[in-house]
């Protein structure tokens, strides 16, 4: 890998449906943490791309997993935060299944 490999990061998709997760053989790094702690901002910072991962100042906005391919070496997966969820009980149940 070269020194700029994180700059070669591409957004693939965002989904909460397991059957739509991308099929690949790469390792995954899941970013998991409380709501509004900066998981998406972390992705934007390490890739030096402020528009790669969607960020919001409102807790609980992320409701699905977002997949990012890093130089065809591994996947970064941005997960919804936990501890705050302004969503229906059905949506909370779907988060728990993920």
Q: What is the pLDDT of residues 16-29, one digit of tens each?
A: 999 999 999 999 99
The segment with the largest mean pLDDT, out of 19-33, 51-65, 78-92, is 19-33
Residue 87 scores a pLDDT above 80 = no
What φ, ψ does residue 84 adopt, rounded to 5°? -150, 125
33: domain CATH number is 3.40.50.300
Average pLDDT over residues 27-39: 93
Q: What angle do CA 29, 50, 79 make, to 5 degrees?
A: 30
- Domain extent for 35: 5-97
**Number of domains forming the structure of the chain:** 1
**pLDDT number for residue 35:** 86
Neighbours of 6 (CB within 10 A): 17
Q: What percent of the chain clears pLDDT 70, i.e. is strictly above it?
A: 80
CA separation for the pair 70, 67 (Å, rounded): 10
């Amino acid at each position: 890998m070269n020194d700029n490999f994180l700059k070669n990061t591409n957004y693939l998709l965002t989904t909460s449906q397991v059957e739509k997760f991308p099929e690949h053989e790469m390792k995954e790094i899941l970013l998991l943490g409380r709501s509004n702690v900066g998981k998406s901002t972390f992705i934007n910072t390490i890739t030096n791309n402020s528009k790669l991962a969607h960020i919001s100042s409102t807790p609980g906005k992320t409701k699905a997993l977002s997949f990012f391919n890093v130089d065809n070496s591994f996947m970064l997966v941005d997960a919804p935060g936990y501890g705050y969820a302004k969503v229906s009980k059905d949506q909370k149940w779907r988060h728990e299944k993920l």
